[in-house]
A and B are shown apart, each in its own frame.
Chain A
Amino acid sequence: MAKSILDDHVSMPQTFKKGSWEIKLSFLIMGFANLVHKQIIKGLLFLVSQIIFLIAFVTQVIPGIMGLFTLGTKTQGMEERVIDGVKLQVAIDGDNSMLMLIFGLASLIFCAVFAYIYWCNLKSARTVHLLKTNGQKLPTFKEDVLTLTNGRFHMTLMAIPLIGVLLFTILPLVYMICLAFTNYDHNHLPPKSLFDWVGFTNFGNIFSGRMAGTFFPVLSWTLIWAVFATVTNFFFGIVLALLINTKGLKLKKLWRTVFVITIAVPQFISLLLMRNFLNDQGPFNALLQKIGLLEHPLPFLSDPVWAKFSIIFVNMWVGIPFTMLVATGIIMNLPSEQIEAAEIDGASKFQVFKSITFPQILLIMTPALIQQFIGNINNFNVIYLLTGGGPTNSQFYQAGSTDLLVTWLYKLTVTAADYNLASVIGILIFAISAIFSLLAYTRTSSYKEGAVK
């Protein structure tokens, strides 16, 4: 009877309604069905996890989740305390908004993990019931464990990495997203003072409030930079690759290696060198003065406009070999018939490049190009190591003339301790990246196939 009702496609509420008494009890006491049917170890494991959860729920999770909310409801209470003297009160309550937020979120994740175990328990009860009514043999605990090397092998492989992701990616990320809706800035630093939920104030601040004067210039420079950095690298990289692939050129491998060496040198080394090299007192200025081209040193990195050009040029030095390397691979695989046919018809080298080689390379490299563009929006290294965002700009809040959104974010967290603003910026960077990634997705079918099937 139950055989026809309970299979994998029946939803859990229905399972409860139609299931036998031991399934119903399994909803209340985890592992009950397993215990009844002599799957002792499995049943006990479920039971123990339930007991642990219940204890933890009362002692840890409830205060944790309450903490998440009190962050919001304690506003007045907190203000009253300011009059009494903050330090004493906080010490007694141990209210550290930041820790409360983290523990609250950790509790939520803990609950989610338990919910998964609970769901496994129900599924297990259903399976046990199903096997029993069909008269099949129930798997022993050992057999269950062995499925981890076969049918459920992915669980074995992914369990530990996923814990890492949960702890070091998802939890911090959710935490930082939450911060965007608080007033956790340099005036509200726990444990000295509390911070609180403020809704969308920070977003308003950035878009139209006192931060707008910094945000929009930084955003537009970020986009200008990303476009120029990507386009120059891409175009000149292909030209370089074509030059090296010129018919009849000797020692192609050697030429390529010369440029590859510069990729291989760690960026923090090459960029710090460049910073020194282009310094007002640095060797490049000295050389130009010596040969009489200049009378005064040029402010390569110390003038806002010069610095922007210098950054793009240095980035070409860093990035062109990358494109060259990839483009070379593509060029060597291009079918040569088309080019030969065009040459016979009298097309010039430039025409061949414009109408045949370049479009084909572009087609193959579009996904990589969009990725590079996103990478450039987030290109922390070049800016941070070369100019550190400078020269300073008195009209910006905590940002210099060449700061990108990412380096501004970095400064907001590390030097200014304005975590709420930093989080908003982070979310906005994410939004920009997401839009362009989506573009990459819809534009190129090959990318789609490779990434998500």
Chain B
Amino acid sequence: MKRYLPIIFGLIALFIVNVSVFKQESLISNGKSIFVKLAPVDPRSLIQGDYMALNYELYLDQNKEHDIPANAILSLLSYRLVVTLDEQYRVTAASFEQPEKLAENQSLLIVKRDAESFWNNRFYPASNSFLFAEGFASCYEQAKFAEFKVNLEGKPLLYRLTDDSLQPLNCEQKERDREERLKGLFY
């Protein structure tokens, strides 16, 4: 039995990782999509590939200190925001005020305060960067919206980037398809 302990310990770790993966996949399948407009993006190059710094348009004034009510503060850097959506689920307004009941066109969205930013009043949902394969910067520069999957508590997952008409960019997928087509031409 003692001999198999490393395998048991490894299986425990794998079980926990895959339970977490399953939870996120079910959020992607069942979560509500909301789209947040992107402010100008910033493609950068790193040794491990490329990533894009994301700046969201959450309709919150970054230049003033917000008076955040206690029931909207979740932890040191996490806050619950109430966002108003249009008919295409795009965020058009946001507020820290928590109503007793959400309207039809409202949704909860958990955001984080960007502790590194100079103003300290910049908020972002889930992540303020998006990683992609090297050489796709020109494709991802076309991103206009970030699509999030959110559950009922407003917990977001940055799902993908979309263009102006909310169609996913899927740059890597397009490249794979292009390679397949090229293979088809030669073989």
Query: Are A and B associated in one complex?
Result: no
Binding site for B on A (CB under 8 A): none
